[in-house]
A and B are shown apart, each in its own frame.
Chain A
Amino acid sequence: MRMMKAFLLLLALPAAVMSAERAETVAITGGRVVTLGPAGTIDGGTVLIQDGKVRAVGRDVAIPSGARRIDATGKVVTPGFMDSLARLGLVEVAAVEETVDTRTQNDQITAAFNVADAINPRSILIKTNRVEGLTRAVIAPAPGSSLIAGQGVVIHLGGPEDFLLRSPVAMYGVLGANGRNFGGGSRAAALLRLREILHDAREYAKNRSAYEQGETRDLAVSRLDLEALQPVVRGELPLVLAVNRASDIQAALRLAKEEKLKLILAGAGEGWVVADEIAAAKVPVLITPLNNLPGSFDVLGATLENAARLHKAGVTFAFMSVAAHEAYSIRQQAGNAVAYGLPWDAAMAALTTVPARLWGIGDRYGSLEPGKDADVVVWTGDPLEVVSYPTEVFIRGTQVPIESRQLELRDRYKDVGSSVPPAYRNP
């Protein structure tokens, strides 16, 4: 436990410098406030933002005299949403190779590969997504050509300043059909290979000096990878395994139990089939509810009801887009999960409080509670409805403008038939 704390301390990044903007005091009044916290949902509530934090939430909040007021009457106020697996900042134009940094093809160094150094917090995609109410995301590597893909991180979408909140937040890997392909042509070979890597990581930890002097047998992966896997084999850093087929999920659960890993499942298209086992193992799951196509033999049991069924079985889950440009679409994903049986509150939690806890930032983010970072979004209506949109977005207490490259394109072309050439409009 002490080691765990030390590890977390190691992870903690220098405290953010308070900017002038973040010191602004803002009162959002009159809205339906969905706190996702102990205060529940408050009709006609006030959210007071001060020094970058939520200072107070409730029906009778004293508003300081200098506070800027935002009238949210008829609107819905929620925490900003969090995507539990995105590629934001790693991709600009998917088909333009030099803008894509999601994966490493170097199969000698995979576990040590951390996406943090590749993330571009000035990506145009960040603004496009935050104006849709997405304020935080886990940025994870994509599978390259190895079972272990590398390390992911947590970011906020408030701008380049201190954008990295936790690094690494998890190790990523694949089983299932991808694992089969990377691991030697059979699912069994893939599991064997993964076990070998984990065992050698332990071996390395026991005999570091012998290893340095070249007195050990050859180990399965490179020194950097063996080092990077240490928190994984100690059960401290989660290992997120992408699996879908029910039998592959079961294999992953067995592996995690035997190797004492802190497992998180990503995908779990057939998760509902073995939902009770997942729940019993207390393994959290990341899902994309709209994936209901039997698009491969790994997901013949895919269904829009997966989320509802996992929920019913008591599985902890959060939503992931596995996207960059439309990462914000997780709210449509969540809405559809509700249409197919998931309680609305559970869907909202899977966008906020659940990922907050899962990714170790629950003390700072996830709900509208005094003392938490002010990630606050004012919506025209129910945030899970596709016709709703944010009118105000705060990230860590700073109101981000409803601006993006795409909104600039809109404004340039919205007046159809203008006589001024487009290049001279909103320059």
Chain B
Amino acid sequence: MSNNPLKRLSFAAFALLLLAGLLASGCATAPAPAEAPAKSEVPTPADTAEQPKDPNDAYLSTYKPLPSSPVLITNATILTAAGDRIEGGSILLQDGRIAAVGRGVQAPAGAITVDATGKWVTPGLIDAHSHLGVYPSPGDDANADGNEMTNPVTAEVWAEHSVWPQDPQFPLSLAGGVTAMLILPGSANLIGGRSVTVKNLPAQHVNQMKFPDAPYGLKMACGENPKRVYGEKGRAPSTRMGNVAGYRRAWIDAGEYRRQWNEHRERQSRKKESQDQDQAQGAPAGGDRTPVRDLSKETLAGVLDGEILVQNHCYRADEMLTMIDIAREFGYKITTFHHAVEAYKIADVLAREGICSAIWADSWGFKMEALDGIVENAAILQKAGACVVIHSDSAQVIQRLNQEAGKAMGAGLRMGLDLRAEDVIRWITINPAKSMGIDDQTGSLEVGKMADVVVWSGDPFSVYSRAEKVYIDGGLAYDRNDPSKRPRTDFELGLVELEDAGGER
């Protein structure tokens, strides 16, 4: 999937590289960070000769950040999501990256200075569970493209091919400080398809939003939804044991498919070697039958190869444990349990397995498997040292991930835990980044990372605070105080004129 050398380069090494550049240029004119060669660049002759072009490269990211000048935000309370809070801190955004963060950062010549006295700065918020674009507003059937409810295993579908970029919910989430999100297929199917990670910048096409080189995710779903949807159709699965049989069958098929392709590739490379020798001796080239591509199994094989991350909708503790068994049987890793309303019951296991729990603060009781949802879920997971992610799964909640985290923090305080803002901020920044495999790029305010930054009017966990400025890759994507910096989708044009009435949605 990803051939980006940047991904291979450790983040620390990259930061050093950037720092070296900064020092060499005396901070004033830091060079652009070493950009990874874009996939669209002309491949080298060696590449074309040895690697058949990946047909999936047709769908690569064409994301381009907004144009930007260096920005120095000063006098802020900074939650970096990578350590302690910084009072009276500054942060320098330059060439799309975080160039410096701390106290007493000097502005390079030509930098825009933003005085953030009394304000707070955090990394851009990241939602690890969204359906924006695939379930847009208005919510008519004509626009509902999130669940391919025609087969319990639809690993072949890609959420990105349903994303409607004109969904007015995107700019609303941007106003809530969200700079990146994971857009998933729904949970009707055992295996629902590929998710897509996007930068929350308005675009004409989903490819222009795709987070460069983010790994793909695979949506899987436990429990009530698949068995209900297919049980009602009078077909398997109609039980939880049917669910499990369904996953296992799919993985067995995928394993076989992967074996065929691996053998084919091996034969090809062996043949190539002998061909080179044969050609040197003037012999004709031989043939090997290429396996037929199967989009569903190709995606599942990507999971078995460790390139696609498993994003598993699962509510009940016992079912999560079963899913861990299945992952063990087939040798893949579950990256995140989504919703995970009973994660607190197995917090120690999730900590040990290194599986994130992407959860609501307090959504519960809407179905049997959600009955044991408690607002202390996050706090208990945190106490156990597990990875906590507060997610939205909602176009409303995505506008207030900070408040949801605040609610979960309040519940933790009520049970006597010492939760600090600098801990809780991780639930909506670096932890979701980790659960999406982009934590080496974004999710915390560290030198060299993407300049995805929010300036809040106050403590982000206060109900009264609002995102005032949102930077994505250093570009000002949203400014609450400047209507020209509040993007509107095509859909919203000519409707009720909120802006004319002097306000915002």
Give the B-binding residues of A (Cβ under 8 A). 92-96, 125, 246, 270, 272-273, 290-297, 300-305, 309, 324-326, 329, 332, 335-336, 338-339, 341, 380, 384-389, 406-407, 409-410, 413-414, 416-417, 422
Cβ contact of B461, chosen from A297, A325, A339, A387, cutoff 8 A: A387
- B416 and chain A: residue at smallest CB distance: A414
CA distance A95 to B403 in the complex (A): 27
Q: Is the CB of B403 within 8 A of A410?
A: no
Is B214 in contact with chain A by the CB < 8 A criterion?
no
Q: Per-position contact with A for B408-444: 1 when CB-CB < 8 Å, else 0?
A: 0111011100000000000000000000000000000
- A95 & B137 in contact (Cβ 8 Å cutoff): no
| B172 near A94: Cβ-Cβ < 8 Å | no
6 more CB-based (< 8 A) A-B contacts, given A303-B503, A413-B380, A414-B380: A92-B365, A94-B365, A300-B495, A341-B503, A387-B406, A389-B414
Residues in chain A near residue B137, CB distance under 8 A = 293-296
B224 within 8 A of A: yes
What would be 12 A-B contacts, judged by CB atoms less than 8 Å apart? Answer: A93-B365, A95-B368, A291-B396, A292-B399, A293-B172, A297-B138, A303-B503, A325-B363, A336-B403, A385-B462, A387-B406, A416-B380
Q: Would you list the 5 A-B pairs with minimal beta carbon distance, nearest first?
A: A301-B496, A335-B463, A95-B367, A387-B410, A325-B365
B contact residues around A336 at 8 Å (CB):
400, 403, 463
Asked if B272 lies at the interface with its beta carbon under 8 angstroms from chain A, I say no
Tell which of A125, A290, A410 touches B396, judged by Cβ atoms closer than 8 Å.
Answer: A290
Among A296, A305, A309, A406, residue most surrounded by chain B Cβ atoms (within 10 Å)? A406
| Docked complex Cα distance between A416 and B351 (Å) | 11
Contacts of B362 in A (CB 8 A): 326, 329
Chain B, 457-500, CB within 8 A of any chain A CB: 461-466, 491-492, 495-496, 498
Chain B residues near A387 (CB-CB < 8 A): 406-407, 409-410, 413, 461-462
CA distance in complex: A220, B245 (Å): 55
Least Cβ distance of A332 to chain B in Å? 6
A336 and B403 alpha carbons, distance in the complex (Å): 10
Asked if B139 is an interface residue, CB under 8 A from chain A, the answer is yes
Chain A residue at minimum C-beta to C-beta distance from B139 = A295
B19 contacts chain A at the CB level, 8 A cutoff:
no
Set B224, B380, B461: member contacting A95, Cβ < 8 A: B224
In the complex, which residues 379-405 of chain B have their Cβ closer than 8 Å to any Cβ of chain A?
380, 383-384, 395-396, 399-400, 403
* Cβ–Cβ < 8 Å partners of B415 in chain A: 410, 414
Taken residue by residue from 74 to 88, chain B's Cβ proximity to chain A (1 for < 8 Å, 0 otherwise) reads as 000000000000000
- Identify which of B27-35, B57-65, B340-348 touches chain A: B340-348
CA distance A380 to B501 in the complex (A): 37
- Residue ID in chain B nearest A324 by CB atoms: B365
CA A270 to CA B495, docked complex, whole Å: 12
CB distance from A347 to the nearest CB of B (A): 10
Binds A, one of B103-111, B247-255, B370-378: B370-378
Which B residues are in CB contact (< 8 Å) with A93? 365-368, 371
CB distance from B127 to the nearest CB of A (A): 15
| B14 partner residues in chain A, CB cutoff 8 A | none
Shortest Cβ distance from A303 into B: residue = B505
Give bound CA distance, A407 to B496, whole Å.
Answer: 44
Query: Given A93-B365, A332-B403 in contact, is the A300-B496 Cβ separation under 8 Å?
Result: yes
A339 with B463: CB separation less than 8 A: yes
Q: Which residues of A contact B172 (CB under 8 A)?
A: 292-293
A409 CA to B465 CA in the complex, in Å?
A: 32
**Cross-chain contact B407 with A417 (CB below 8 angstroms):** no
Contact residues of B: prevailing secondary structure:
loop
A405 to chain B, nearest CB (A): 9
Given contacts A300-B495, A332-B403, A416-B384, contact A388 B374 (CB under 8 A): no
> Shortest Cβ distance from A376 into chain B, in angstroms?
19
Distance of B217 from chain A, by nearest CB (Å): 25
Distance in angstroms between the alpha carbons of A417 and B496 in the assembled complex:
55
Chain B positions 167 through 181: 1 when the CB is less than 8 Å from some CB of chain A, otherwise 0: 011001000000000
Instruction: Find the A residue at minimum CB distance from B386.
Output: A416
Contact pick for B366, options A94, A292, A386, CB 8 Å: A94
Interface: B263 (CB within 8 A): no
Is B364 on the interface with A (CB-CB < 8 A)?
Answer: yes
Give the residue among B140, B374, B415, B463 with the most A Cβ atoms within 10 A. Answer: B463
Q: Which of B344, B371, B372 gathers most chain A CB within 10 Å?
A: B371
| Nearest CB in chain A: distance from B131 CB, A | 13
Q: Within the complex, what minimum Cβ distance (angstroms) separates A355 from chain B?
A: 20
**Interface pair A410/B380, CB less than 8 Å apart:** yes
Q: Is the beta-carbon distance between B364 and A406 smaller than 8 angstroms? A: yes
The answer to whether B348 touches A325, judged by C-beta atoms less than 8 angstroms apart, is: no
Residue contact B505 to A386, C-beta cutoff 8 Å: no
Residues of A within 8 A of B365 (CB): 92-94, 125, 324-325
Cross-chain contact A410 with B463 (CB below 8 angstroms)? no
B366 contacts which chain A residues (CB < 8 A)? 93-95, 325
Contact bitstring B123-163, A, C-beta under 8 A = 1, else 0: 00000000000000111100000000000000000000000
Interface residue from B348, B375, B399 paired with A417 (Cβ < 8 Å): B348
Residues of A within 8 A of B399 (CB): 292
Complex Cα spacing A92 to B370, Å: 11
B223 CB, min distance to chain A CBs, angstroms: 11
CA distance A270 to B403 in the complex (A): 25
A420 to B386, alpha carbons, bound, how many Å? Answer: 21
Complexed CA–CA distance, A125 and B465 (Å): 30
A324, B137: Cα distance in complex, Å: 24
Q: Does B504 have its Cβ within 8 Å of any Cβ on chain A?
A: yes
A293-B172, A386-B407, A409-B374 known; A304 vs B367 contact (CB < 8 Å): no
B410 touches A386 (CB 8 A): yes
CB of A114, distance to nearest CB on chain B (Å): 24
Give the distance in Å from the alpha carbon of A95 to the alpha carbon of B365 in the complex. Answer: 9
Give the contacting residue for A294; candidates B466, B495, B504; CB below 8 A: B495
A76, chain B: closest CB distance, angstroms: 14
Q: Which of A292, A380, A385 contacts B505 (CB 8 A)?
A: A292
Judging by beta carbons under 8 Å apart, are B461 and A409 in contact?
no
Contact A293 B169 (CB under 8 A): yes
| A296, A341, A387, A414: residue with the most chain B Cβ atoms closer than 10 Å | A387
Question: Are A338 and B348 in contact, CB atoms less than 8 angstroms apart?
Answer: no
| Residues of A with C-beta under 8 A to B400 | 290, 336
List the A residue with the shortest CB-CB distance to B373: A406
Chain B, residues 321-343, CB within 8 Å of chain A (1/0): the string is 00000000000000000000000
Are A335 and B464 in contact (CB-based, < 8 A)?
A: yes
Residue among A273, A380, A386 having the largest count of chain B Cβ atoms under 10 Å: A386
Say which residue of A95, A293, A380, A409 sits within 8 Å of B372 (CB atoms): A409
List, in ascending order, chain A residues with CB within 8 A of B403's CB: 332, 336, 386
- A409 and B371 CA atoms in complex are apart in Å by 11
Give the residue name and chain of the A residue nearest to B421 (CB).
Answer: A387
CB closest chain-B residue, reference A337: B463
